[in-house]
Structure 1
Amino acid sequence: MIQEFKNFIAKGNVMDMAVGIIIGAAFTAIVNSLVGDLINPFVSLFTGGIDFSGWFYALDGNEYASLAAAQEAGAPIFAIGSFIMAVINFLIIALVVFILVKIVNRVKEAAEGEEDTPAETAPAGPTEIDLLIEIRDALKKD
């Protein structure tokens, strides 16, 4: 069993996966900053500054000044606004990741296209057989 575990760890796929997870965690911070710091302000501008995260309903029937106050009181809360914001953020992040993947794929295709372009070759002359046939025909004439 220990040998099987060593073989599993030594495989390249495990290392590739580990690198992918680490880079993915770093990339998550970049995408979250892009969405939170650059895109959400524009969304807020177009929606008139509406903050959905303050929309909630306290299931205990009491009135609370804010979501934070209800949470601090330990009330059961139906936080529909937080859910709406999570959906909006998900859609924005999905769009940003989609655009980034398309850009990376275009760059990758362009790089592969440059490598695949064959160097221009000299035009092919007559083959060896063509030359031998020509010599044979010339000797027959004589």
Structure 2
Amino acid sequence: MIKGFKDFIMRGNVIDLAVAVVIGAAFTAVVNAIVSSIITPLIELFWKPDENGVPGIPVPAVWGGTVTFPIGDLITAIISFLAVAIVVYFVFVFPMNLWKERQAAKAGVTEDKEEKLPTEQELLIQIRDLLQKTDSTPR
């Protein structure tokens, strides 16, 4: 049992995952800083909620009184998520993909050299042709 655990830990995937979690936690602070210092002020140029935020939807409760669904919080969370996703993509993912493509081009690696695998239809046609050949051979 201990040997199995040791093999699992030393496999490398666990170490990579641990590093990714630590880097991701540190990366979150950078992304949140970009969103709060750049994206949020840009949004506030066009729309600024009042001090209480966007009001919710009041619904009459069964026992009397009202229950308020805080839709404003949901909208804020969705906008924040989209802002973080946009920042991560355009500031980090897109430039990294461009850099990788340039490095691959410098190294002479292109995707055109990749061997194209036959489609399912082409494979079925080949199987049919082989079966017809074996059926037509004399026994």
TM-score range (shorter-chain normalised) is 0.5 to 0.7
| Match 2:85 to one of 88, 94, 98 | 94
Instruction: Note if 1:7 corresponds to 2:7.
Output: yes
What is aligned with 1:128?
Answer: none
In structure 1, the residue matched to 2:99 is 107
Structure 1 residue 111, shift from structure 2 partner: 1.7
Q: Is the 8 A contact 1:53 1:84 kept in 2?
A: no
Bigger Rg over Cα: 1
Equivalent residue runs for 1:45-64 within 5 Å: 45-47=45-47, 49-50=48-49, 53-56=53-56, 61=65
Distance change >3 Å, CA 53–CA 5, structure 1 → 2: farther
Q: TM-score, normalised by structure 2?
A: 0.64
Is the 8 Å Cα contact of residues 35 and 92 (structure 1) preserved in structure 2?
yes
Please give the alpha-carbon distance, in whole angstroms, between the structure 1 residues aligned to 2:58 and 2:19.
Answer: 44
SS at match of 2:49: coil
How far is the alpha carbon of 1:58 from its aligned partner? 6.4
Whole-angstrom CA distance in 1 between matches of 2:41 and 2:4: 52
Q: Deviations over 1:52-84 (max 9, x none)?
A: 83423567737xxxxxxxxxxxxx652211111
Q: Which has the higher contact order (CA 8 A, sep 6+)?
A: 1
Q: Give the counterpart letter for 2:29 in structure 1.
A: A
Question: Once the two structures are superposed, what CA deviation does each residue of 1:1-51 show, in whole Å capped at 9, x if it has no partner?
Answer: 11111100011111111111111111111111111121110111022x225
How many matched pairs? 103
- Amino acid aligned to 1:89: S
Q: Report the TM-score, using the length of structure 1 for normalisation.
A: 0.63
Deviation at 1:94, TM superposition (A): 1.3
Q: 1:56 to 1:9 in 2, by over 3 A?
A: same
Overall identity of the aligned pairs, in %: 42
Give the Cα–Cα distance (whole angstroms) in 2 for the partners of residues 50 and 77 of structure 1.
18
